[in-house]
Amino acid sequence: MDIFFLQVTAVNSRINTSYTYLPVGMQLLFAIGFVFAILGVTHLLGPSRRTDEKLQNFESGIEGVGNARQPMAIKYFLVAILFVLFDVEVIFFYPYAVNFRELGWAGFGAVLLFVGSFLAGFLYIIKKGALQWED
């Protein structure tokens, strides 16, 4: 029994050495080096003539009129935030879909509780009129 314990301890101590992180460190260094190499090559090979026409903002052929800093309706941002909120909800269904047989009825109840809480939030949003446009 003691010999088995010593062997398991020896194996576990080898797993947590810094040598096991060497491939991760090498990959990280390679990725950083690749990014700087690509940036350097594009800087060296790219055109470098700066003219007034090239330094102007690109407006798709339409002349810019007025100030770009005009206030926007908060509804755009509200709809975007609500979209992200309800879109992220779908991500949480993936682990349940993969393991639904192992989770059984308890997992099904948890998913129903999760969907119920988001449905309550969605009904609250509709009741408050967050998705109605007043234009």
- The domain that holds 38 is classified in CATH as 1.20.58
- pLDDT score, position 32: 97
pLDDT for res 113: 92
Q: Does 50 reside within a domain?
A: yes
Amino acid, single-letter form, for residue 27? Q
Residue 58 lies in a domain: yes
Q: Which residue has the tokens 């269904």?
A: 93
- pLDDT confidence of residue 75: 80
Instruction: Give pLDDT tens digits for 21-59.
Output: 888 999 999 999 999 999 999 999 987 788 887 777 776
Question: Residues 82, 134: contact at Cβ < 8 Å?
Answer: no
d(CA 4, CA 2): 5
How far, in Å, CA of 135 to CA of 131, rounded? 12
Does 117 fall in a domain?
yes
11 lies in some domain = yes
Count the Cβ atoms, other than its own, within 10 Å of residue 86.
13
Over residues 80-129, the pLDDT tens digits come to 888 888 788 888 888 888 888 888 899 899 989 998 998 898 899 889 88
- Over range 50-69, report the average pLDDT: 75
What is the reported pLDDT for 41?
95
